[in-house]
Amino acid sequence: MSFDFDREIPRDGTASVKHDGRASYFGTADIAPLWVADMDFAAPEAVTQALEQRAAHPVYGYTLHPDSLFEALTGWLKQRHGWEVRREWIMMCPGVVPSLHAAVMAFAQPGEGVIVQPPVYFPFFSCVTNTGRSLVLNPLRPENGRYTIDLAHLEQCAAAGARLLLLCSPHNPVGRVWGRDELQGVLAIARRHKLMVLSDEIHADLIYPGNRHTALATLAGDMDSVITAVAPSKTFNIPGLGLSALVVPNAGHRAALHKVFDLFHVSTSNPFSIAAFEAAYRGGEPWLDSLLNYLDATRNAVKSFLLENIPAIRLIEPEGTYLLWLDCRALGMDDKELKRFFVYQSKVGMNPGTVFGAGGNGFMRMNIGTPRHIVMQALQRIGQALASR
């Protein structure tokens, strides 16, 4: 099967945050939108067909989670990741960010420590600070153009009494796909200090050749406290439909999470999100395999372009995700200057590294989930703007 990822699909006027939100975020709409982490590609045909079929039924009432929904998810996790998940472990949730908040509220009391590993997706910080918990930073360690987990410092954080670790796996924005040894190290620390781990694995299906994602829970034993966030949102480009899942093997942990979610009074049973969720996992695999080849070629094209034309911007080569972490420190600009340069001179809209916390200064995050020619045009504009300075 062939899929046309080079086709431009106009998104202006669709209430798209990534496109229609440019002016409010950057101060101008005249930029290439390479920021918000959704893709500009059409979702798999299996998804659009399922949505059309559901829309054709003219009653959109309260909706159950059907058995087939759970079967689609467990089948995908087994086939794609070798992970045997029982149905009773699965909690449907209204998105991963609400799930982060629920986990923090369920497993850490106000004032207790929650470990976050910056630079990292910014809701990891806000779900701690907004709920009155104590933010404990375990910064990633850059080594030879690649990031690693500082396990010795993580041990110190856990020993000091932190209750919960929020693990981003694969990691947004640095693109690491954590190895088995690294994950085993995290689990060993968690065991020694009775540390709960919530592993956000929503990018788990977006892995580049030569790398393999390992679900943390597949390495855990019965006595380990591991909860996993999964979703089809990033994989199949349906984040706006807002349905995710938590895999929670421990019944007591499920009860604690249900208690928090009950406080939110937020439904997870949207008839359209359920139809898309199931259809994506059942029929989206050929689309995903083609997408991964396309993203890999774009990643390699960006790497080559920067090396040949803008060596002062260094790509931290990602092992997963469609997000690139660009080291711009050699440009000699502070963060305010970087923002002005990219927005007003290059006309390229990216996420500044500063929003990802410690270690983000001098970096930018670029989203390559868009037709390749748009990415390459943006890079050319950056090169031309640098040449004219």
- pLDDT tens across 287-309, in order? 999 999 999 999 999 999 999 99
Q: What is the pTM of this model?
A: 0.97
Task: Give the domains, in start order, of the chain with CATH numbers.
Answer: 17-44+285-387 (3.90.1150.10), 59-283 (3.40.640.10)
pLDDT digits (tens, 9 = 90+) for 132-154: 999 999 999 999 999 999 999 99
> How do residues 146-194 score in pLDDT, each as one tens digit?
999 999 999 999 999 999 999 999 999 999 999 999 999 999 999 999 9
Q: What is the three-state SS of the chain?
A: CCCCCCCCCCCCCCCCHHHHCHHHHHCCCCCEECCCCCCCCCCCHHHHHHHHHHHHCCCCCCCCCCHHHHHHHHHHHHHHHCCCCCHHHEEEECCHHHHHHHHHHHHCCCCCEEEECCCCCCHHHHHHHCCCCEEEECCCEEECCEEECCHHHHHHHHHCCCCEEEEECCCCCCCCCCCHHHHHHHHHHHHHHCCEEEEECCCCCCECCCCCCCCHHHHCCCCCCEEEEECCCCCCCCHHHCCEEEECCCHHHHHHHHHHHHHHCCCCCCHHHHHHHHHHHHHCHHHHHHHHHHHHHHHHHHHHHHHHHCCCCEEECCCECCEEEEECHHHCCCHHHHHHHHHHHCCEECEEHHHHCCCCCCEEEEECCCCHHHHHHHHHHHHHHHHCC
pLDDT at 266 exceeding the cut of 80? yes
Note the pLDDT tens digit of each residue in 307-333: 999 999 999 999 999 999 999 999 999
